[in-house]
Amino acid sequence: MNILVTGGAGFIGSHLIEKLLLRGDFVICVDNYDDLYNSSFKKENITKLSKNKNFVFYFNNILDIDSLKIIFNKYKIETIVHLAARAGVRKSIEDPKTCMDINITGTLNILNLSRDFKVKNIIFASSSSVYGNCKKIPFSEEININEPISPYAISKITGELLCYTYNFLYKMNITCLRFFTVYGPRQRPDMAIHKFVKLIDNKCPITMFGDGSSSRDYTYISDLVNAIIRSIDTCFNYEIINIGYGNPVRLDILIKIIEKKLGKKAIIIKKDIQKGDVNLTYADIKKAKKLLNYSPIISIEEGIEKFVNWYKKYKKKY
């Protein structure tokens, strides 16, 4: 199968592409090395992937529709996994325009080209951020998501609405997967787990926003990749599906787990919760189990151990 992965040089994309190549798919990767973090990490990912004859890389921005059109003309793309985005709640508050441009206009470009070139299946990467500070837990796909608390959340809700509209108008097969805090080897260095591990390992203070009671539903990267691949193979008409672990972990407990796996104590500085941060994420994964036969297997303890082992091996590069 010919599969286009946007944002494929990043954390999630590079893991997904590795798995797709292993099973024999031909993968076209589009990435522009967004400056959210050091581009050398993404270049390292691409160097490893480029050794496979079934992989091609294009340094393109998804806002440049003319460059994208050249790729669509050259390859008969059957499936698109649209991961490219301006990530980060806090970054979206600092710079909402860039977030909206990339996450909304970029998604619109992908949808328009998919329509014009008759792509069979699209997977859109959405986010648990769309739920905001929802009081009804666990978060079900049926919940009304009309109270976003960050521009990033708005951009992902809009992306889902665009996907719904294009499905309705043009009968395009689209699956929106709502990712819940994905972590694992090669995780972005600005994300909590990576940042905490690095700081604790180097005996530097970490910042805990709030009293430690805020909770996240952490999803290990291999579980997420399996869900994406099942979405590729199933090819729904239109669905929105949560992808999480289904068991939130408190921030103070997460820090304790990291301390245990590193064998070092954290120096903690407490600050007020930041604007845009939600108190809790908690995925209802019944729909994923039913439609994708999804069953996450990596617990937070095992996942942190795997991340720490990877970090120790590659920390000089990071």
- Residue 290 lies inside a defined structural domain of this protein: yes
Q: Which of 70-79, 188-197, 269-278 has the lowest mean pLDDT?
A: 269-278
> What is the mean predicted confidence (pLDDT) over 44-63?
92
40 assigned to some structural domain: yes
pTM tops 0.85? yes
- Look at the chain and report how many structural domains it folds into: 1
Residue 264 lies in a domain: no
Q: In Å, what is the CA distance from 163 to each residue of 66, 160, 279? A: 21, 5, 28
- CB neighbourhood size of 117 (10 A): 15
Residue that the structure tokens 């301006």 belong to: 86
Q: Please state whether the peptide bond connecting residue 138 to the residue before it is cis, i.e. omega within 30 degrees of 0.
A: yes
Answer yes or no: is 262 within a domain: no
Residue 275: band (very low, low, confident or very high) from pLDDT cuts 50, 70, 90: confident
Could you tell me the residue range of the domain that residue 76 belongs to? 2-188+219-245+281-297
Q: Does a structural domain hold residue 107?
A: yes
- The pLDDT assigned to 279 comes to 83
The single-letter DSSP state of residue 103 is: I
Question: For the chain, what percentages of helix, strand and coil (3-state, to nearest 5) are there?
Answer: 45, 20, 35
Question: Which DSSP state fits 104?
Answer: I
CA 256 to chain centre: 25
Percent of residues, the chain, with pLDDT higher than 70: 99
Residues whose CB is less than 8 angstroms from the CB of residue 257 and which lie 6 or more positions away in sequence, other chains included: 249, 300, 301, 304
Q: Are strands 238-243 and 219-220 parallel, antiparallel or unpaired?
A: unpaired
Question: What single-letter amino acid sits at 102?
Answer: I
pLDDT bucket at 317, cuts 50 / 70 / 90 = low
For all residues of the chain together, what is the average pLDDT?
94
What is the per-residue DSSP string for 23-39? TT-EEEEEE---TTS-H
Q: 21, 57 in Cβ contact below 8 A?
A: no
Asked if the structure places residue 312 within a domain, the reply is no
Whether 152 is catalytic:
yes
253 located within any domain: no
Q: Catalytic: which of 37, 152, 294, 311?
A: 152
- Per residue in 176-216, pLDDT (tens digit) is 999 999 999 999 888 899 999 999 999 999 998 888 889 99
Residue 218 has pLDDT above 80, yes or no: yes
pLDDT beyond 80 at 315: no
**pLDDT score for 48:** 84
- What's the whole-number mean pLDDT along residues 232-242? 96
Is residue 94 in a domain? yes
Instruction: Evaluate whether 132 touches 184 at the Cβ level (below 8 Å).
Output: no
Residue 54's CATH number? 3.40.50.720
Number of Cβ within 10 Å of residue 228's Cβ equals 25
Tell me the average pLDDT across 266-282. 85
